[in-house]
Amino acid sequence: MTFTQILPLTDISRADACSTPPTRAATSPEHADALAHSLKALADPARLRIISIVSAHANQEACVCDLTDQLTLSQPTISHHLKVLVEAGFVSRVKRGTWSYYSLVPGSLGSVAGVLSAI
């Protein structure tokens, strides 16, 4: 019989008296990086409003002119925010004629919400 059998492993493995042992493993750094990247894309008032405006449309689709109408931001700035959202996978773009139409990627928001509440 060894010491590790007599004493709980958690008491041996840590030296700090202040702490209680963890019940499960914490999120990996890679997982945290990925989630933070998604959250960063959402963590901007203009981008949240863009998502809201897009999803408020009948066919879940809005053109850039809808956004420049409602947001008090320049057209390049809105285009920049749209690019961030596309690269993060929250909206997708389709071009018809002169106009670009943006739509929500189904489930993308719910996925982040699910991960968040599962932490």
Binding site for its own copies (CB under 8 A): 16, 18-27, 29, 32-33, 35-36, 39-40, 42-49, 51-53, 55-59, 61-63, 65-66, 69-70, 98-99, 109-110, 112-114, 116-117, 119
Site for DNA in 70-99 (CB under 7 A): 72-84, 93, 95, 97-99
CB of 1 to its own copies, least distance (A): 26
List the one residue out of 111, 73, 103, 33 whose CA is nearest residue 81.
Answer: 73
What gap in Å lies between CA 42 and CA 116, rounded to an integer? 13
What gap in Å lies between CA 45 and CA 20, rounded to an integer? 39
Q: Backbone phi, then psi, for 25, in 5-degree steps?
A: -75, 145
Residue 29 tokens, joined: 């750094």
Q: Which is nearer to its own copies, 76 or 97 (CB)?
A: 97
Question: Per CB under 7 A, does 100 bind DNA?
Answer: yes
